[in-house]
């Protein structure tokens, strides 16, 4: 009897399985944007051994794939130049029709709250833009906040057309970035929003990035628990990044770091390790453009400057770029600077120059290159100075110099032949110089194109990180 019941059960299971419907991950759907001139992946689930055919309206090829024993299938499809809209049909035991599919440029927008913030969180630029935000060629996919102990195979959500109602809820930086690309490239733009306010970078990286490096692990172990966002390694990555890594993207923009200031010493290795892990999972060396965190009144001295310094070092990682925003800060007591449109514009200029070949667009802030000491003065040279340096104001601010006693004093500065000459009449033998190297410094030194010169220091002396007493 038991044997008969077992046979019947197996037969019923096989019958059900043989008629299982083809399913797609949510990120593959109507209104999506696929990466142009690429080989994109289509994947999903069905009955084991099920024959699946895919037809796309931009060519005459019939794509065929057979589901494996694990009930999963995946195949690759070539995309043309930007355009659309197109239709796609996926047929197994059932038929799925995808409509209004565009071909264009797809970007992932990641990070913590400064990337997440939108118009409905009070950003005036988004509110002003919203009534004019109807654009059928810009599409949004919002990945809901979620965590998982292990990598997941799907996310909730669906592709949405850019309307005032949808734009006001979407990342302000993401939207303005996409709008900038659309206006310059004149092609559809797909934006995937996967971010979570307050999150440290550790939760966006797979476990092995943290566990395989002692410095990173030390930083991760020092993170403090919170009830508002995940902080443990891999939790956001498993639920909000891994499930979309089959979806072909052009690149990533990123704004995060405020939650890693206390463990700044680990951030360069952590951040570049995260970037490398993402690229490996996507199997693509895509560009990764990020925002240097803004000046802010942190509770400990200099930790913001030290984190910005590590971000500067991370920008040397292949195929990355960093925008400096120290001039876009109306209030250093607000960790959420409101000028998101300008931040997005600088990110877009990075992409337009480095990814899309618009070499005439100046996109990088001047960086410290070298210095030389001449008697009581220090002369500083910079990179990314095609047209020279300007100061906005009567006096150049935010320079400090020190002698052998390692005590820093405010310094005067002047511009000479694209160099900055720094001095203090009371220091006859200077040995080190710092520029804007504290939590809240807002310097007034720029390239002639209007990009702020990045902070720097020529010393490696221990910094004061003591708690600021209120």
- In whole angstroms, what separates CA 33 from the centre of its chain? 19
**Other C-beta atoms lying within 10 Å of the C-beta of residue 130:** 20
Predicted local confidence at residue 469, as pLDDT: 86
Residue 5: the pLDDT is: 44
Report pLDDT for 7. 42
The residue to which tokens 């692990």 are assigned: 217
Q: Distance between CA atoms of 58 and 86, rounded to whole angstroms?
A: 7
Per-residue tokens: 387: 């047209």
Q: What is the pLDDT of residues 25-72, one digit of tens each?
A: 999 999 999 999 999 999 999 999 999 999 999 999 999 999 999 999
pLDDT band per the 50, 70, 90 thresholds, residue 17: very low
Residue 1 contacts by C-beta under 8 Å, 6 or more apart in sequence?
A: none
Tokens of 408: 């820093």
**Minimal CA–CA distance to 223: which of 154, 270, 182, 255?**
270
> Would you state the pLDDT for residue 429?
96
How big is the chain by its Cα radius of gyration, in Å? 26
Q: How does residue 19 score in pLDDT terms, banded at 50, 70 and 90?
A: low
Say if residue 433's pLDDT is above 60.
yes
- Full DSSP string of 175-226: HHHHHHHHHHH-S-EEEEEEE-TT--GGGGS-HHHHHT-HHHHHHHHTPPP-
Domains of the chain: 21-102 (2.60.40), 104-354 (3.40.50.1110), 367-457 (no CATH)
Checking if the pLDDT of 371 tops 80, the result is yes
Give 413's contacts (C-beta < 8 A, 6+ positions apart).
396, 399, 420, 421, 422, 423
pTM score of the predicted model: 0.94
Question: Residue 111: beta bridge partners?
Answer: 195, 255
Q: What is the pLDDT of residues 293-332, one digit of tens each?
A: 999 999 999 999 999 999 999 999 999 999 999 999 999 9
Q: Give the 3-state DSSP-derived string for 267-310, with helices as H, strands as E and coil as C.
A: HHHHHHHHHHHHHHHHCCCCCEEEECCCCCCCCECCHHHHHHHH
| Amino acid 386: pLDDT | 81
Q: Cα(first)–Cα(last) distance of the chain, in Å? A: 79
Question: What are 166-219's pLDDT values in tens digits?
Answer: 999 999 999 999 999 999 999 999 999 999 999 999 999 999 999 999 999 999
Q: Give residue-wise pLDDT tens across range 74-125.
A: 999 999 999 999 999 999 999 999 999 999 999 999 999 999 999 998 899 9
pLDDT above 90 as % of the chain: 93
Q: How confident is the model at residue 20, as a pLDDT?
A: 83
- For residues 425 and 432, what is the distance between their CA atoms, to the nearest angstrom? 15
Mean pLDDT on 464-468: 95
| Average per-residue pLDDT for the chain | 95
pLDDT mean over 371-392: 95
């Amino acid at each position: 009897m038991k044997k008969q019941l077992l046979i019947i059960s197996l037969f019923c299971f096989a019958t059900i399985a043989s008629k299982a419907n083809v399913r797609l991950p949510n990120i593959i759907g109507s209104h999506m944007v696929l990466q142009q001139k690429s080989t994109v992946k289509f994947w999903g689930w069905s009955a084991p051994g099920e024959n699946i055919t895919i037809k796309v309206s931009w060519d005459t090829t019939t794509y065929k794939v057979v589901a494996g024993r694990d009930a999963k299938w995946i195949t690759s499809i070539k995309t043309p130049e930007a355009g659309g809209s197109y239709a796609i049909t996926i047929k197994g035991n059932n038929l799925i029709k995808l409509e209004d599919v565009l071909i264009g440029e797809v970007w992932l927008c990641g990070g913590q709250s400064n990337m997440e913030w939108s118009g409905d969180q009070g950003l005036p630029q988004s509110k002003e833009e919203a009534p004019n935000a109807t654009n059928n060629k810009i599409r949004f996919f919002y990945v809901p906040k979620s965590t998982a102990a292990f990598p997941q195979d799907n996310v909730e959500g669906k592709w949405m057309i850019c309307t005032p109602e949808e734009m006001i809820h979407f990342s302000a930086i993401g939207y303005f970035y996409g709008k900038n690309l659309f206006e310059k490239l004149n092609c559809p733009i797909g934006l995937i929003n996967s971010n979570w306010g307050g999150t440290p970078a550790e939760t966006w990286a797979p476990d092995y990035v943290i566990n395989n490096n002692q410095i990173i692990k030390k930083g991760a172990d020092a993170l403090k628990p919170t009830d508002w966002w995940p902080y443990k390694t891999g939790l956001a990555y498993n639920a909000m990044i891994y499930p979309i890594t089959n979806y072909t993207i052009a690149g990533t923009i990123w704004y995060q770091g405020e939650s890693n200031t206390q463990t700044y010493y680990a951030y360069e290795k952590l951040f570049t390790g995260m970037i490398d892990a993402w690229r490996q999972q996507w199997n693509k060396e895509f560009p990764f453009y990020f925002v240097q965190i803004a000046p802010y009144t942190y509770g400990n001295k200099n930790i913001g400057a030290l984190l910005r310094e590590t971000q500067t070092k991370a920008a040397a990682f292949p195929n990355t770029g960093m925008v400096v925003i120290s001039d876009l800060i109306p209030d250093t007591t607000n960790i959420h600077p409101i000028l998101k449109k300008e931040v997005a514009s600088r990110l877009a200029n990075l992409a337009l120059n480095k990814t899309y070949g618009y070499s005439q667009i100046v996109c990088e802030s001047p960086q410290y290159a070298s210095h030389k000491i001449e008697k009581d003065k220090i002369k500083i040279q910079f990179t990314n100075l095609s047209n020279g340096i300007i100061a906005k104001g009567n006096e150049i601010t935010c320079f400090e110099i020190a002698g052998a006693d390692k005590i820093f004093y405010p310094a005067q500065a002047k511009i000479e032949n694209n160099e900055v000459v720094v001095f203090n009449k009371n220091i006859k033998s200077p040995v080190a110089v710092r520029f804007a190297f504290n939590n809240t410094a807002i310097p007034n030194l720029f390239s002639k194109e209007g990009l702020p010169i990045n902070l720097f220091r020529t010393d490696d002396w221990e910094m004061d990180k003591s708690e600021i007493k209120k």
